[in-house]
Structure 1
C-alpha cells in the first residue's frame, strides 16, 4: 500500500521539465540567473561570469555561507511532507509562499512548490535549496517587491516586539519601585516543590452527547489539605499532549492542588501524527474550537459526580482554575467567558497583505464554523492563566471584554507562533476584568526547544546570534507565578498577594540575563499608548 501511494504521488509530482532560470526584478532592471550557475558554484566553488555579477562584491566568508546554504540538507519524510502540505494549514502556507515564488506569467507557485519539495525530499541527495531549484518544474519568477515587503514586515515585527517588551519592562520596573516592600528571601520559595506529595491517576471519560472519549491524567496530592482542595485543569496546545505539562501539574499537586490534564483528541499530537500517516485530511478537527472548551466543563461535571465516592468529597469544584497553552490558551479564555467575534476574525483573515502573525493560520480556520453565538462560559471557572494564547483575532476587543474573572496572560519575547506583539501585548488592554496581569518572559519561545527532535534542534543551533534561556529558568518563572495566581484567586488565600507584584518578578529574575516582567491593569493605559505609536491598537 505504501509503495502504491508513493508511486501515485510521484506520478503527480514529477516535473516534465526543470527550472532553468530564476528571474527577478531589481529596481528598473529585470535580472536572471541560470540554475546551472548555482549548481556549479555549489559543487566546487566556481564563480562563472554570470554569477560574478552577483557575487563580485561579496567577501569569501559570505560566499562560503551562501554555498553551504545551497547544500544544507533537511531530513524530512517525503510522504509526510506531502501530506502536511495537503492539509488546510499546509495549503495556506504554500499559498503565501507561492505569492513570492511564482511561475512564468506571474501565477502563484503553490502547486509547483509542493511538487518540488516532495521530489527533492524523495531524491537521494535530499531536500536542499539547490535540489529544490532543480526539481521546480518551470522557470522561477521571484516577486522581489513582495519579498522585500514581507522581509520589511518581519523586521518591523521584530523591532516592534523589542520596543513593546522594553515598554513592559519599564512599566514593570516602575511598578516594582512603588510596590509594598517585601523580603521575598524570607518568604516560602514558590519555585520549590511543596510538601503534599504527588499521586497519579488516569481516567477514561465518555461524553455520549458528543460521541467523544477523553483520556484525563490526574495529579493529586498524597495528603489532602485540611480545607477543600483547589482544582486546576490544564489544556494543551495544538499538536501537543498532556505529558508536556506534567512537571507543571506535579508542582501544583505538591502544593496541595488536584490537577486534571485532558487530552483533546481532535487536536493533540496523536491527531497530528495520524494526519501525517494519512488517516486524516487535517491536523486538527474544526470542531475543536467548540469541543475543547466543552471538554473543560465536561471534566468538571464528571469530577463532581465522582468527588464523594472517589475523592472523599474534598474537591472544591465551584471555584476551578484553568491553565491553557496556545490553542489551550484559547480554550481557557473561552471557558472564562470570551466569545468568538466572527466579524473581527473575518476582517483579520481577509486582509490583503501578508501578516507576520502566524497564529492566524489556526484562527482563520474558525471562519468555517456555523455563524452563531458561542457561549462557553462556565461559572465554576473562577480564574484562568493563558500562556501564549491564540486569541486576538478570534475574540477581538469585544469578545475578550466579556471576561469578568481574574486572568493572567503570559507572553514570550521569542514566540514565533503566537507573537507577543500581536497575540498578548496587544490584546491585554482589551480585557475588562479589573484583576488582570500580563507576564512577559524574555527568551520564552512558545515551546521548550530542548524537547524538540534532533532535526529541529540542529536547525535552531545553526541560526546565528540566537540564544535561548535554560528551560529550567522558564519553568521556575511559570511554577512560581502560576502557584501564586491560583493561590490568590482559586484557593482564596490573600497571603499570596505579595507574590503578584512586579517586585516579585524582578526578584525571580534578578540574577538572570533573561528577565521576567509583570504588570497589572494599572499599566493597561500606558500599553495602549505604546501600541498606538505602532498603529497596533486594533
Structure 2
C-alpha cells in the first residue's frame, strides 16, 4: 500500500509539475484557491521570498502556519528542485492528441480567472520554463504563468478522495486475490513440485533468431517480423505463438521471453506494429509526426496478427519444412499488445461502455483511458477480429475494461490467462485486469497478480513509465529475474496445456504452484482460476456499493 502510494504521489506530483510548468509570460502575480463561496490568494512573490530566504510572510503564513520545520524545509526544496526537460520535445508532445487530453484534464483543475480551462496557459508556461537555464522548477513555472490562475479546491478534494479509494481498492483486492489463491491451493492438497520439471529453467533446445520484412498489400502496410525458433531445421510438428508488443515498444524488447519458449520447441513470431511502436515515438520526437500513435492501430494491430499467421502459412512448406502447427496458435501481448491479443481472440469493442467511461473523466486514476478513449474516433461499426486459428490468449497488463466492457469480453470463448501487477500505474489492475476477470465466460481462465510488477518489467519503453517509477524515492521493485520466473513458468505451462495438449503441465496452472514459486520471495505471485471468479465478482460489487458514490 505504501509503495503504491509513493507511485501515486509521484504521478500526482508529476501532474502538478506539468500543471505548474505549463504557463508563459505576461506573468502571474497570484494563484487563487476557490472553495465556494470563499476564496483565498497566494502571492507568487511570497513563495519566491520563502524559497530564497526561508522567511514566511503574512500571506504565506495562511498556508504554512501549522506546518513543522521539517515540512517547511521539504516544501522549500520542492520549490527549487529542477528537472531538465527538452523544450522542443515537450512542445511536440503537448501538441499531440494525447498531450492535449492531459492538458485538458489539468486545465479543469487549474483555470484562468472566470473558470476558463487553463490548458493553453499551462502548455505555454511549461514550454517557456523548459527553455530556461537550470531546468524547470515549480517557481519557474509559476513565474511563467501568463496570467493569474485559480484552483478549484472542491475538484481537487474530489480527486484526492477518488485517489484514496483507488489506493484502498488496490490493497483490498490484492489481499482478496491472495486469500482466494491460498484457499484454492489448500483444496488442491499437497503437490511435490520439486520432483517435477522446472518450467522456470530454459528448455533443452538451442535457439536462433531471424527477421522478415513483410508487406500486407491489402492494407498497404509494411512491417517487420522477428522470429525466435529452435535452432536448425524443424523435424516435428511445431507449436506457434504470436506476440504483440506494447505502445512505444518493439518486438526486440521481448526476445528474452521468446527465447524461453523457443528452448522448449516453440516458434515465436513477434510483429512490429508500425504506427504505435518505438519508431512512431521517435518520429514524433523528431518532428516527423504529430501523434503518439494512430487511432487506426486499434484495427490494424489485430489484423497484423492474422496477417502474420497468413504469412507463416504461405512460407510453411518451404522455410519451415511444413512443420508449423497453424491451426492451434497461441497469442500473447503486453499492454496495447494485451488489447491486441484479446481482440484477435474474440473480444469486441463496446463503444457505449467506452463512451460512458470517457465522459466520467477517470484518466487521472486510470492512465490507460488516454489510449482507450481514442478508439471513440473510429467509425462506429461492428469490429470482429476473431481469428479461429488462435486457440489461447496470454495477456500481460492489458487495457480492456472500458474498450471491451462486459459485453465485449464475454465473447471470448478460448482459454485465457491474464497477468497483472500491483504497482502498475499505466493499466491499474483494479480498473483493468482484476475487474475484468469475472466477466470472462470462457471455461478455462486464469488471473495472476504479481506483487511489485509495475508494467515496465516486460517493456522498458512502454509509454515511458520506467523513468517515472525509477524517480520515486525509496521505491523497491522486484528484481527482473523474479518477474521472469513467474511469467516464464506460468505462460509456458499455459501454452503447454492448451496448445500442445500436454497434461503434464496442468499442476503448474494451479494456485498451489504460485504459492510454491513465491516461497521466500518479498514480492509474491497469486494465481486464481475460474473457481474464484464468483467470489471476486461479489467483492467488486460490494466494494463499489460501499465506496463509490
Cα deviation, 1:252-286, whole Å, max 9, x if unaligned, reads 11111100111101100110121122111211111
Higher relative contact order (CA 8 A, sep 6+): 2
Within-5 A mapping of 1:252-267: 252-267=261-276
The CA deviation at 1:48 is 2.1
2:324 to 303, 315, 320: 315
Q: Does the alignment pair 1:90 with 2:99?
A: yes
1:362 equivalenced with 2:367 (yes/no) = no
**Count, aligned residues:** 525
- Displacement of 1:49 in angstroms is 2.6
Per-residue CA deviation, residues 22-78 of structure 1 (Å, 9 max, x unaligned), is 110357642111111111211232222322332222122211111121112122111
What is the CA distance between 1:329 and its match in structure 2?
A: 0.5
1:494-538 Cα distance to aligned partner (Å, 9 max, x none):
110010000000111111011100111111100111101222899
Distance 1:36 1:125, change over 3 A: farther
1:125 aligns with 2:134: yes
How far apart, CA to CA, are the structure 2 residues paired with 1:221 and 1:329? 25
Is residue 243 of structure 1 aligned with residue 252 of structure 2? Answer: yes
Q: Which residue of 2 aligns with 1:189?
A: 198
CA contact (8 A) 2:83 2:136 kept: yes
| Paired residue secondary structure (1:421) | coil
User: 1:286–1:476: structure 2 CA closer, same or farther, 3 Å change rule?
Assistant: same
Counterpart for residue 6 of structure 2: none
**Aligned equivalent of 1:77:** 86
For the residues of structure 2 that align with 1:356 and 1:281, how far apart are their CA atoms? 25
How far residue 460 of structure 1 moved from its aligned partner, in angstroms, is 3.8
Tell me how far 1:464 sits from its aligned partner. 4.4
Q: Which residue of 1 aligns with 2:172?
A: 163
Hey, what's the Cα distance between the residues in 2 that align with 1:292 and 1:276? 22
Residues 449-483 of structure 1, C-alpha deviations (whole Å, 9 max, x = no match): 99479x98775455345321112111111011110
Partner of 1:101: 110
Q: Show the counterpart of 2:288.
A: 279
Aligned to 1:59, which of 43, 53, 68? 68
The 5 A counterparts of 1:111-510 are 111-222=120-231, 227-351=236-360, 356-448=365-457, 451=460, 460-510=469-519
The Cα shift of 1:413 comes to 0.6
Report how far residue 226 of structure 1 moved: 5.9
What is the CA-CA distance between 1:225 and the residue it aligns to? 7.2
Q: Is the 8 A contact 2:275 2:293 kept in 1?
A: yes
Q: 8 Å contact 2:398–2:427 — kept in the other structure?
A: yes
TM-score (norm 1): 0.94
- Please give the secondary structure, in 1, of the residue aligned with 2:430: helix
Structure 1 unaligned blocks of 5 or more? 1-12
Q: Are 1:196 and 1:224, in contact at CA under 8 Å, matched by a contact in 2?
A: no
* Gaps in structure 2 of 5+ consecutive residues: 1-21
- Contact preservation (8 Å) 2:295, 2:378: yes
8 Å CA contact 1:224–1:256 kept in 2: the answer is no
**Within 2, Cα distance between the matches of 1:424 and 1:502?**
17
**Aligned pair in 2 of structure 1 residues 451, 330: CA closer, same or farther (>3 Å)?**
closer
Whether contact under 8 Å (1:235, 1:323) holds in the other structure is yes
**Does the CA contact (< 8 Å) of 2:33 and 2:153 recur in 1?**
yes
Structure 1 outlier segments of 4+, above 6 Å: 455-458
Could you give the per-residue CA deviations for residues 108-131 of structure 1, whole angstroms, max 9, x where no partner exists?
110000000000011113211111
The answer to whether the 8 Å contact 2:25/2:143 transfers is no
Task: Give CA deviations for 1:137-178 in whole Å, capped at 9, x if unaligned.
Answer: 011201111111111111211110110111110000000111
User: Residue 462 and residue 269 in structure 1: after superposition, are their counterparts in 2 closer, same or farther (change >3 A)?
Assistant: closer
TM, length-normalised to structure 2: 0.92
Rounded to whole Å, the distance in 1 between the matches of 2:338 and 2:196 is: 30
SS in 1 for 2:32: strand
Does the residue aligned with 2:34 lie in a helix, a strand or coil?
strand
Q: Determine helix, strand or coil for the equivalent of 1:426.
A: helix
Range with bigger deviation, 357-366 or 42-51? 42-51
Aligned residues of 2:426 and 2:465 also touching (Cα < 8 A) = no
Find the counterpart in structure 2 of residue 521 from structure 1. Answer: 530
